[in-house]
Amino acid sequence: MLTLVTGTTGQVGRRFVPRLLAQSRPGEQVRVLVRDTARGEPFAELGAEVVVGDLRDTDVLGKAVAGADAVVNVAAAFRGVPDEEAWAVNRDAAVELGRAAVASGVRRFVQVSTGLVYGEGRGRLLTEEDESRPGGAMWGAYPASKAEAERELFALDGLDVRVGRLPFVYGEGDPHLAQSLMWAKNWASAQRLHMGHHADVAQGLLRILHAPGISGRVYNIADDAPVTAVELHQLNGVEIPGELYERVDPDPWLMMMSTERIRRELGYRPVYPSVYAAREAGAL
Ligand SMILES: NC(=O)c1ccc[n+]([C@@H]2O[C@H](COP(=O)([O-])OP(=O)(O)OC[C@H]3O[C@@H](n4cnc5c(N)ncnc54)[C@H](OP(=O)(O)O)[C@@H]3O)[C@@H](O)[C@H]2O)c1
């Protein structure tokens, strides 16, 4: 079995690939798509095959999927990119990658998505059956393009597509936890962020990749203990701005995801059920 992984130079992908390689059985191989030859070297050293190119280049897609049995599409453009790039990478290139996968006989396609696709909250934990409802404080080209990518990939004939929707991912030196204050400093004190540690995101994605008979299924991946804006300041050792206590949370259920399905169907149990467990384990 040969698995192509995209987006491996990013925060999620660079921590996912070593775990995928570590649990590979004899004969199982991993190929990564990177945009820069030098940035592929660490993956080659780990034993992965490296293809160099941009996801928006259809010739590259053909090379990337040739001979592959499975694809894990981790790549996305959302950190400070113009909207056009977000659409081009997150929707158009993802769907083209899906088409290339069908043409090349790939059996399984895991699309890495985001809990932001749910849009506005529902007054309860979000489940995979909930339709995307555009709106809310975090809506924009990124969640909209990811939501459309999911829809268009599921509509492709002849491809076993599975989707993992991630929370706010942190851990193992990722600066994301500190960056959370960019948003949390403008929140109400009790406004919450649903997070997931890299170890658990990788665990969830590996379960989604390997499970038989789940074509067309979506799974939320997250931990058990969303943290408040106050806690995010405390975790980062930053003084809590007084304004937090003057604001009201407009939607306490925004991005709060249920993990019932992935627990029940795929046996997922977070190694780090909370950010506090990760901190105690020295895994921040
Ligand atoms: N991190 C989170 O909290 C979070 C939360 C929810 C969902 N997700 C999802 O998780 C996935 C990974 O996120 P991340 O945090 O790891 O993002 P990231 O750190 O920004 O990494 C993005 C990856 O995509 C690659 N990429 C972007 N445009 C590309 C293109 N045109 N061609 C080829 N590769 C391209 C980047 O390559 P370069 O290094 O060459 O730029 C990089 O490897 C995404 O699908 C995202 O939607 C993440």
- CATH number for the domain harbouring residue 94: 3.40.50.720
37 C-alpha to ligand 1 centroid (Å): 17
Range of the domain at 65: 2-170+195-223+259-272
Ligand 1 probe mutation, 9, 95, 201, most atoms within 8 A of CB: 9
Q: pLDDT-derived band of residue 136, with 50, 70 and 90 as boundaries?
A: confident
What number is the average pLDDT over the span 200-212? 98
State the pTM of this model: 0.98
Atom of ligand 1 nearest to the CA of 12: 16
The answer to whether residue 231 is domain-embedded is: no
The answer to whether residue 176 is domain-embedded is: no
Q: pLDDT-derived band of residue 182, with 50, 70 and 90 as boundaries?
A: very high
pLDDT tens, position by position, 47-105: 999 999 999 999 999 999 999 999 999 999 998 999 999 999 999 999 999 999 999 99
Atom of ligand 1 nearest to the CA of 169: 3
Ligand 1 probe mutation, 33, 73, 169, most atoms within 8 A of CB: 169
4 C-alpha to ligand 1 centroid (Å): 15
The answer to whether residue 182 is domain-embedded is: no
The answer to whether residue 254 is domain-embedded is: no
Q: pLDDT-derived band of residue 12, with 50, 70 and 90 as boundaries?
A: very high
Atom of ligand 1 nearest to the CA of 88: 31
124 C-alpha to ligand 1 centroid (Å): 29
Domain count, the chain: 1
The answer to whether residue 283 is domain-embedded is: no
What number is the average pLDDT over the span 114-130? 96
78 C-alpha to ligand 1 centroid (Å): 7
- Using the structure block, give the residue that is written with the tokens 């993992």: 164
Closest residue (by CA) to atom 39 of ligand 1?
A: 9
Q: What is the DSSP string of the chain?
A: -EEEEE-TTSTTHHHHHHHHHHTPPTT-EEEEEESSHHHHHHHHHHT-EEEE--TT-HHHHHHHHTT-SEEEE-----SS--HHHHIIIIIIIHHHHHHHHHHTT--EEEEEEEGGGGBS--SS-B-TTSPPB--STT-SHHHHHHHHHHHHHHTSTT-EEEEEEE-EEEBTTBTHHHHTHHHHTTS-TT-EE-EEEHHHHHHHHHHHHH-TT-TT-EEE---S--EEHHHHHHHTT-PPPGGGGG---S-TTTT-B--HHHHHHH----SSSSHHHHHHTT--
The answer to whether residue 234 is domain-embedded is: no
Ligand 1 residue neighbourhood (C-beta within 6 Å) = 6-13, 35, 54-56, 74-79, 89, 112, 114, 146, 166, 168-169, 176
Closest residue (by CA) to atom 40 of ligand 1?
A: 35
What number is the average pLDDT over the span 211-223? 98
12 C-alpha to ligand 1 centroid (Å): 7
Atom of ligand 1 nearest to the CA of 13: 16
Ligand 1 probe mutation, 4, 8, 12, 218, most atoms within 8 A of CB: 12
Q: pLDDT-derived band of residue 41, with 50, 70 and 90 as boundaries?
A: very high
188 C-alpha to ligand 1 centroid (Å): 28
Q: What is the pLDDT of residue 152?
A: 98
75 C-alpha to ligand 1 centroid (Å): 4
246 C-alpha to ligand 1 centroid (Å): 35
Q: Is the pLDDT of residue 135 over 90?
A: no
What number is the average pLDDT over the span 222-250? 98
The answer to whether residue 25 is domain-embedded is: yes
134 C-alpha to ligand 1 centroid (Å): 22
Q: Is the pLDDT of residue 125 over 90?
A: yes
The answer to whether residue 245 is domain-embedded is: no
Q: Considering the chain, what is the average pLDDT of its residues?
A: 97
